[in-house]
Amino acid sequence: MGDIEDLAARIRVCTLCRLHEGRTRAVPGEGPRDAKLFLVGEAPGRHEDEVGRPFVGAAGKVLDAALVTAGLTRGDVFITNVVKCRPPENRRPRADEIAACRPYLVAQVHAVRPGALVALGDTAVTGLLGPAADLSTARGSLPRFEGIPVVATYHPAATLYNRGL
Ligand code: URA
């Protein structure tokens, strides 16, 4: 499906599902094209939709802090979402929206060829591994997507609602 910039250009004008109708900007994702680590979130929120970049709101602050704790910065990782356009009222993406957007995610993984994927939350787990997968099973079991290990963990926003996570 092409290189990472071609994909981003196609995502920005995509009309494959209903989510394009309400977006301000699509959010293709960003990071080095040779990143070793590839992070997958759920969907853009309000701030992301406004600026066209992933994880720039409150969840992004949690993510940035977690990266620092891991000895990483944004510049070290590729970050994207299962769906590239903001769902209305930040509802969870629907199965048909995830399916419509999935070829972009798969093509991004193929373009970057990371050593590991990090699935941030349940939608990322099912978006990568399919509808039968779930976060609680994937967490700690290191499933694989096309041979690439998938580290499944909580979505950064979940830790804002439940500090115990
Ligand atoms: N939550 C996500 O899953 N992705 C973003 O880009 C922002 C918030």
Distance (Å) from CA 143 to ligand 1 centroid: 22
Q: What are phi and psi of 31, to 5 degrees?
A: 140, 170
Out of 81, 86, 92, mutate this one to test ligand 1's pocket (max ligand atoms within 8 Å of CB): namely 81
pLDDT of residue 2: 66
Question: What atom of ligand 1 comes closest to residue 59's alpha carbon?
Answer: 8
pLDDT of residue 118: 98
Q: Is the pLDDT reported for residue 51 higher than 90?
A: yes
d(CA 29, CA 44): 10
Q: What are phi and psi of 127, to 5 degrees?
A: -60, -35
Distance (Å) from CA 43 to ligand 1 centroid: 5
Distance (Å) from CA 140 to ligand 1 centroid: 22
Per-residue DSSP letters for 42-89? Answer: S---HHHHHHT-SS-SHHHHHHHHHHHHTT--GGGEEEEESSSSPPGG
Express each pLDDT in 36-49 by its tens digit.
999 999 999 999 99
d(CA 40, CA 122): 11
Kindly list the protein residues whose Cβ atom lies closer than 6 A to any atom of ligand 1.
41-45, 48, 54-55, 57, 59, 81, 157
Among residues 96, 146, 92, the alpha carbon closest in space to that of 121 is found at: 92
Out of 11, 47, 50, 55, mutate this one to test ligand 1's pocket (max ligand atoms within 8 Å of CB): namely 55
Residues 120 and 41 sit within 8 Å (Cβ to Cβ) = yes
Number of H helices, E strands in the chain: 7, 5
Q: Which two tokens stand for residue 135?
A: 């976060």
| Long-range pairs of 126-132 with CB within 8 A, sequence gap ≥ 24 | 126/98, 127/40, 127/42, 127/82, 127/83, 127/98, 127/102, 128/40, 128/82, 131/95
Distance (Å) from CA 161 to ligand 1 centroid: 15
Mention every residue, 6+ apart, whose C-beta is less than 8 A from residue 65: none
pLDDT of residue 140: 87
Mean pLDDT for 126-137 is 96
Distance (Å) from CA 81 to ligand 1 centroid: 7
Mean pLDDT for 126-131 is 96
Q: What is the SS3 assignment for 119? A: strand
Compute the mean pLDDT over every residue in the chain, rounded to the nearest whole number: 96
